[in-house]
Chains A and B, each alone.
Chain A
Amino acid sequence: MINKLIAILFLSIIISACNNQSGYEYMPNMYRSPSLETYSTNTYFKDSINARLPVEGTIARNYLSTFYFDGDLEGYLQSGKFAKNPLEINEKNLKEGEALYGMFCAHCHGPEGNGGGSIGHPIYSNIPHYNDKKQIRRTGKTMSELKAGHIFHSITYGVNAMGPHSSQLSEDERWKLVMHVQKLQKLE
């Protein structure tokens, strides 16, 4: 009798366990409140986008830029001459720079900065090496001779097939990256 009971219990659990539907909401207002969320729609605006761009020229707190060069070739050459890394080169910044490099650069430039990143697309398969001493770049110099300002300019505005990364990285983060790239330039 008990055996039968257990068998029936098992059987019924197996039958009812087939239910994998989910997503019922009890009092949906608790889940979806009328307050606006970052990516929600906002009918007060014509285009209904809640994620607005800041007014042009807005400077966020603690984000006052020290880099005032344009995105063209002249700005590039100028930044190489005049832009200075405002951060102190120390172990902590270098370590953070290396971590950032792993997140933002290594998939194309490779962990050692000599190409060979994980992206297999032909367009990104032959990336200039940071320690290259042969090929003359737009500065009239080689990759290994590029100055901090050049590197910062390239990250900010992009160069050739590399897009601008200023929206993903704060200026401090970019300067930390520059530190690490300068370290890779010296690799043999």
Chain B
Amino acid sequence: MRKELYLGRKIYLVLIFSFLFSNTIFAQIDGEELYKTNCTACHVMTDKRLVGPGLKGVTDKYSKDWLKKWIINSQEFIASGDEKAIAIYEEYNKQIMPAFYFTDEEFDALFAYLENPPVEEIAEAVVASTEQVSTSNKYLPIIILLLILTISYILLILKNKLKSSLGEATESIPQTFYNQYKLFISNKTNLVFTGIIAFVVISNFAYSTMMGIGVYTQYQPEQPIAFSHELHSGINGVDCNYCHSSARHSKHSGIPSANVCMNCHTYINEGTDEEGTKEIAKIYEAVGFDPDSRTYIEGYTQKPIEWVRIHNLPDHAYFNHSQHVVAGQIECQECHGPIQEMEEVYQYSELTMGWCIECHRESEVKMEGNEYYAKLHEELKAKHGKEVFTVEEIGGLECAKCHY
């Protein structure tokens, strides 16, 4: 009974509210839709310029009649000799705004929207916790060692105190250590065990050090610009090939030249936080771009962005990206790991010869529907009477394939 009453009240409230807001909502949807489908390719709702000027307060700066004339056919309007129109045409490098034939009702809706744009919610910056877990891990062994030393020190003092209260001879702390040590080495089993431990530790250390020569797994140098693959590739979903476009054509996957950055960052000048904006400004510094006027500075000496190389094969090994990406149809991630989750890139694979060979032994060549292998596949099928071939079986282990 109570529940019903409550529900009834809720519906009643909803009805009242929808009645109150219905008029304004319907008028706004129209204007907003017009704005979004027609204007946002070149304008934003702030005072920042995109392709054209920002539209904040545009209805205060110009009369509605003036705006109508401009929007319906700006070219004609400029030709008619209107001063304001010519001024804005000149200011924006003679970019032409296309003509929009809106009806009067549509204009009213659009202007109503432009006069009262929705207030954008300011996204709360997520404050990253400044606590660094990694540093506390680093000092952990030292802390444990100190703790053990303090405890043994206290125990030794206690022992001495007890001994002196019993009237026995006490010994200093170094003396205790020395006596214990003598006791320890007097036992042969102890010596053998210590010897074994020392041998295993040292040889394991030597082995892993030698196997690690020239291996840069986990290598993560600091780059000149804190470019985040996680943001660009993972969150924004930009394909690897967009920036590394030469991976399909050449030996190198290619570091994108700054003009590729500028395809988007001509217009995206601000990062998600202040740090991001600073990083974007580094591209502008390299190419000589003024983000306020959105123009390139004339006569600017451009500087290369000196990225630090992470993956480096020794000179005596040949590797070709296009061979693996186009003919082999391997995903980038198979060798480079989860790049789309890396805030800062590190070397994922070992890039040792053993690693290459293992993959060539195990992977099956994607020959089905692959134009590159069409002829070879037919011949191999006829010769061996099977469908699937590994890289090894088509000569992927021959020395001269990579060393010549």
| A residues with CB within 8 A of B | 4-5, 8-9, 11-13, 15-17, 19-26, 30-33, 35, 38-39, 47, 49, 73, 102-104, 106-107, 117-128, 134-138, 140, 158, 160-165, 167-170
Contact = CB atoms under 8 A, between A and B. Distances in A.
Interface of B: 36-38, 40-42, 44, 50-51, 96, 98-101, 193, 196-197, 200-201, 204-205, 208-209, 212-219, 235-239, 241-242, 245, 249, 252, 255, 257, 259-260, 262-264, 266-268, 304, 307, 309, 312, 314-316
The secondary-structure label for the interface of chain A is: loop
Nearest to B304: A49
Contacts of B193: 4, 8
Contacts of B259: 163-164, 167
Contact of B215 (A23, A118, A128): A23
A43 to B, nearest CB: 14
Contacts of B197: 8, 11-12
A121 B265 CA distance: 11
A21 B204 contact: no
Given A15-B201, A135-B100, A25 B237 contact: no
A104 B264 CA distance: 12
A177 B50 CA distance: 27
7 contacts: A8-B197, A16-B201, A22-B217, A23-B212, A49-B304, A106-B239, A160-B41
Given A19-B205, A22-B218, A31 B312 contact: yes
A16 B204 contact: yes
A126 B235 contact: no
A54 B237 CA distance: 32
B214 A31 contact: yes
List 4 tightest A-B contacts by C-beta distance, closest first.
Answer: A118-B237, A163-B263, A126-B40, A16-B204
A169 B200 CA distance: 56
Given A125-B40, A126-B40, 7 more contacts: A30-B314, A123-B267, A126-B36, A135-B38, A161-B42, A164-B263, A169-B245
Contacts of B98: 135-138
B208 A25 contact: no
A157 to B, nearest CB: 12
A160 B51 CA distance: 6
A137 B312 CA distance: 48
Contact of B37 (A5, A11, A134, A137): A134
A141 B196 CA distance: 85
A136 B316 contact: no
A167 B258 CA distance: 11
B110 to A, nearest CB: 13
A163 B268 CA distance: 12
Contact of A24 (B38, B213, B241, B262): B213
Contacts of B209: 19, 24
A103 B239 contact: yes
A120 B245 contact: no
Contacts of B99: 136, 140
